[in-house]
Amino acid sequence: MNANNAQPAAVVLLSGGLDSATCLAIAANEGYACTALSFQYGQRSVAEIDAARRLVTTYGADHRIARVELDQFGGSALTDKSRDVPETPSEGIPDTYVPARNTIFLSIALGWAEILNAKSIFIGVNAIDYSGYPDCRPEYIEAFQRMANLATRASVEDGRVVHIRTPLLHATKSEIIATGHHLGVDYSNTVSCYQADEIGRACGRCDACRLRRQGFEQARIPDPTIYA
Amino acid sequence: MNANNAQPAAVVLLSGGLDSATCLAIAANEGYACTALSFQYGQRSVAEIDAARRLVTTYGADHRIARVELDQFGGSALTDKSRDVPETPSEGIPDTYVPARNTIFLSIALGWAEILNAKSIFIGVNAIDYSGYPDCRPEYIEAFQRMANLATRASVEDGRVVHIRTPLLHATKSEIIATGHHLGVDYSNTVSCYQADEIGRACGRCDACRLRRQGFEQARIPDPTIYA
């Protein structure tokens, strides 16, 4: 995919999980030349980066892996190995919340979008089957869009803005899986588990595992997840 | 400075330049327990990080240095050494603009602010004697604030928000210098030059050097800048 053909460019945030894999499939299906952006942020599960690598190969996308040391912060079960990943649903925002994570990821995606002259940034946030994270809510995404509209060189020089696209925002997990299945996503190439082992096997007990398993059941699509 | 006393906490973005040094002095003078946050982002001048280290010592502030590889992007004379730093004023946004830089820096500061339970983030942006960067404008900062108000755990759980403080936003460079001088800032510990040499000597020709020199002249305060 090069910049000389007529395809518009998109930056797709790709964790390697089920939602972001579906996002990549949607963006590619819409005809975007995709640059997938993954983060090494000190997360517990490094298998998700390997999953992201497999996914971009499928879609012929460019792939950038950015390092941001969010484990410097501490304060989250995902980046601080002295904390346990919760295995029972909790009231309120769970300990897997990483401070300002989506804000930081979207900001770095915005930088890439400026450089690539991308029309859109795709992010697989979801406001239904999610874990209560503040930075997955529609009102948060709208506010990020308004900020981004004022942040870039192109917005000042010729009024062009980068669109933050959230195609999964109002979908249930089973609807996301059905969409991806229809688009040919191979979900065996994705890792959702917060504490997957090195080769990507899931724990089956964390929030992410429970939502994923339930999604496949409700979508009546065989679940290719391998559990440890 | 520890979290057990009555001081409110602040994160202060500290590049090591004149503006951010003045911001740190203002925050400290307001009684904040300051955590200074500097970035190694692949910038041309590394002397500014050394300057930041000297400044935090003066104020007894904590200091965090975060690495973000914005030089992966390219696209700016500050992070791409194959481009020359412009030495004549340009029309429009100059080549020293780094895509989404303030958005990325403020986002990471927001993460730290969540962890530290900080009341404020100080950033030394300036809408008068600046270089035309989109992410230094008041409307941009206001939009970032509105986004931040929806982004954090505390904003959801108990309505607390982190205030983005921009005490220099409407000041001229000479007013900034006069304020800092009054607060005892030792400007010989700061580096503004976009292409300072390894020991922090300024080129005297880039935008940042010209604005700084003019500021000292107009403030009628001796300029301690050492030129190469």
CB contact under 8 A, B151 and A134: yes
Domain membership of residue B4 (yes or no) is no
pLDDT over 90, % of chain A: 61
Mean pLDDT lowest among A7-11, A45-49, A128-132, A219-223? A128-132
Environment class of residue B14 by beta-carbon count within 10 Å: exposed (0-12), middle (13-18) or buried (19+)? buried
Instruction: Sheet with A120-122: list strands edge to edge.
Output: A62-67, A33-40, A9-13, A120-122, A163-165
What is residue A202's DSSP assignment?
A: B
Instruction: For residues A218-225, give the mean pLDDT.
Output: 95
Q: Over chain A, what is the mean pLDDT?
A: 89
A228 part of a folded domain: no
Question: By C-alpha distance, which of B106, B164, B69 is closest to A41?
Answer: B69
A59-63, A124-128, B74-78, B133-137: least confident range:
B74-78
Name the residue facing A153 among B70, B134, B148 (closest C-beta).
B134
Token pair belonging to A121:
């940034």
User: Which chain B residues touch A99 with a CB distance below 8 Å?
Assistant: 110-112, 114-115, 152-153
CB contact under 8 A, A139 and B157: no
Chain B residues closer than 8 Å to A148 by CB: 103
CA distance A171 to chain B (A): 21
Evaluate whether residue A225 is within a structural domain. Answer: no
How far apart, in whole angstroms, are the C-alpha atoms of residue A43 and residue A79?
A: 5
Question: B158 or A145: which carries more pLDDT confidence?
Answer: A145
Nearest residue in B to A112, CA atom:
B73
Among B97, B139, B155, beta carbon nearest to A150: B139
This complex has an ipTM of 0.90
User: What is the CATH classification number for the domain harbouring B144?
Assistant: 3.40.50.620
Q: Tell me, yes or no, whether B2 lies in a domain.
A: no
Count Cβ atoms below 10 Å from residue B92 Cβ, excluding itself: 9
How many domains are there within chain B?
A: 1
Q: pLDDT (tens digit, 0 to 9) for every residue of chain B, 228 residues total?
A: 444 467 999 999 999 999 999 999 999 999 999 999 999 888 777 788 999 999 999 888 999 999 888 777 777 777 777 777 777 776 777 777 788 999 999 999 999 999 899 999 999 999 876 667 888 999 999 999 999 999 998 888 888 899 999 999 999 999 999 999 999 999 999 999 988 998 889 999 988 899 999 999 999 999 999 998
* Chain centre distance of CA A182: 19
Residue A176 lies in a domain: yes
Minimal CA–CA distance to A34: which of A17, A19, A14? A14
Decide if pLDDT at A52 tops 90.
yes
By the 8 A CB rule, do B156 and A134 touch?
A: yes
CA distances to A23, B15, B25, B43 from B124, in Å = 37, 9, 11, 18
Nearest CA in chain B to A65: B72
Residue A3, in any domain of the structure: no
Does A224 map to a domain? no
Summarize pLDDT for A195-212 with one digit per residue, the tens: 899 888 999 998 889 999
Instruction: State the Cα–Cα distance between residues A104 and B68, nearest whole angstrom.
Output: 11
Rounded CA separation B172/B169 (Å): 9
How many Å lie between the alpha carbon of B149 and the closest alpha carbon of chain A? 9
Q: Is residue B130 part of a domain?
A: yes
- Which domain, by its residues, includes B75? 9-219
